[in-house]
């Protein structure tokens, strides 16, 4: 790919996911059209501009965001910027062909899903193509085998998995090299540290951490469920409800206190913690606001001492957050 002449991040703020060079911080684009209320089309485009100005080159989307509309929004912006970014999209969380099929990892679906994403995005190649959720009805070898054919055809450069178990990752990697695992990882979601993170490091696979700000909770800006607009899907998330919410607000209060001691925002502290877990990890916080992009990028300059990290381990050890990451039905297809 071409160099990134507009990138302002210094060289040390680029990193590598397996063999794929990318910015050390990415941008999750989901909220620009999906799941969170209040997104604005023009502001989202300005947010993409700001991200590139700040040196962010990894953009993350998926066919189900909308569905379809997120990739379509990006397509107009990519006309002028395609060679400056690493473009990641996903398929298979649910079928866009067969009503009610979720997930969908059928080999015969893989190519059609990819072609549809290429068309919506207005590009001839996807830099990083993920299986969004593992299909329990299809052996992972068959799904990844079909994905590998996309690499051979020149439609995809790198393959990824999302929310896959250590065993599934090993089996997939034996079929074709997996460049990145995308999964939720933050101060309040650390379950992958037990066996998934060690497995991908053994295999040389990078980690793309989604929801590194705890779906906005770790920013300190959410104090009650009524802070979320009508139509915001977080209103249905167990971590934002009842006693779970109060428990999690207490966790955030402790994070905020430490952030204030360091003279940074809670969001910057949370992102700095993710970055401190290794250079093979790239967080992709989502936002639709240019000013939040700049705030997030500044987190890469936050230096955490051993004392800071120990304090955060006490505040937010594995299992600290109350409530499931998703409602019960969606939890069944995580780490598949």
Instruction: Answer yes or no: are the C-beta atoms of 69 and 102 closer than 8 Å.
Output: no
Residue 130: active-site member:
no
Six-digit token string for 81: 């910027």
Q: CB-based contacts of 63: which residues, under 8 Å, 6+ apart?
A: 71, 89, 90, 91, 96, 113, 116, 117, 120
Nearest to 63 by CA among 127, 114, 135, 15: 114
Instruction: Answer yes or no: are the C-beta atoms of 254 and 188 closer than 8 Å.
Output: no
Distance, CA of 256 to CA of 251 (rounded, Å): 9
Q: Tell me which of 65, 94, 129, 326 is the catalytic residue.
A: 65
CA 198 to each of CA 66, 167, 204, 205: distance values in angstroms, whole numbers, following the listed order = 34, 12, 10, 10
CA 293 to each of CA 52, 99, 199: distance values in angstroms, whole numbers, following the listed order = 10, 36, 31
Distance, CA of 50 to CA of 56 (rounded, Å): 9
Mind telling me the catalytic residues? 65
């Amino acid at each position: 790919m071409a160099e990134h002449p507009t990138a302002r991040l210094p060289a040390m703020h680029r990193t590598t996911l397996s063999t794929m060079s990318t910015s050390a911080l990415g941008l999750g684009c989901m909220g620009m059209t999906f799941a969170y209320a209040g997104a604005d089309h023009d502001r989202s485009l300005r947010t993409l501009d700001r991200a590139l100005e700040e040196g962010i080159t990894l953009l993350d989307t998926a066919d189900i965001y909308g569905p379809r509309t997120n990739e379509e929004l990006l397509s107009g912006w990519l006309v002028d910027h395609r060679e400056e970014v690493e473009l990641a999209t996903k398929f298979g969380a649910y079928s866009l062909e067969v009503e009610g099929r979720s997930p969908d990892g059928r080999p015969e679906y893989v190519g059609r899903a990819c072609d549809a994403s290429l068309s919506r995005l207005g590009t001839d190649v996807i830099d990083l193509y993920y299986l969004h959720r593992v299909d329990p009805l299809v052996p992972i070898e068959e799904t990844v085998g079909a994905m590998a054919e996309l690499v051979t055809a020149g439609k995809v450069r790198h393959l990824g998995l999302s929310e896959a178990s250590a065993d599934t990752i090993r089996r997939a990697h034996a079929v074709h090299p997996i460049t990145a695992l995308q999964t939720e990882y933050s101060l309040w979601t650390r379950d992958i540290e037990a066996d998934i993170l060690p497995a991908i490091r053994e295999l040389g696979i990078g980690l793309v951490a989604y929801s590194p700000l705890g779906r906005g909770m770790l920013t300190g800006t959410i104090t009650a469920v009524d802070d979320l607009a009508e139509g915001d899907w977080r209103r249905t998330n167990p971590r934002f409800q009842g006693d779970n919410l109060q428990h999690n607000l207490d966790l955030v209060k402790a994070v905020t206190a430490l952030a204030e001691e360091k003279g940074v925002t809670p969001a910057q502290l949370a992102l700095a913690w993710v970055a401190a877990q290794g250079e093979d990890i790239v967080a992709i916080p989502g936002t639709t606001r240019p000013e939040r992009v700049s705030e997030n990028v500044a987190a890469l300059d936050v230096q955490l001492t051993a004392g800071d990290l120990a304090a955060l381990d006490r505040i937010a050890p594995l299992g600290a957050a109350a409530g499931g990451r998703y409602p019960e039905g969606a939890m069944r297809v995580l780490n598949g």
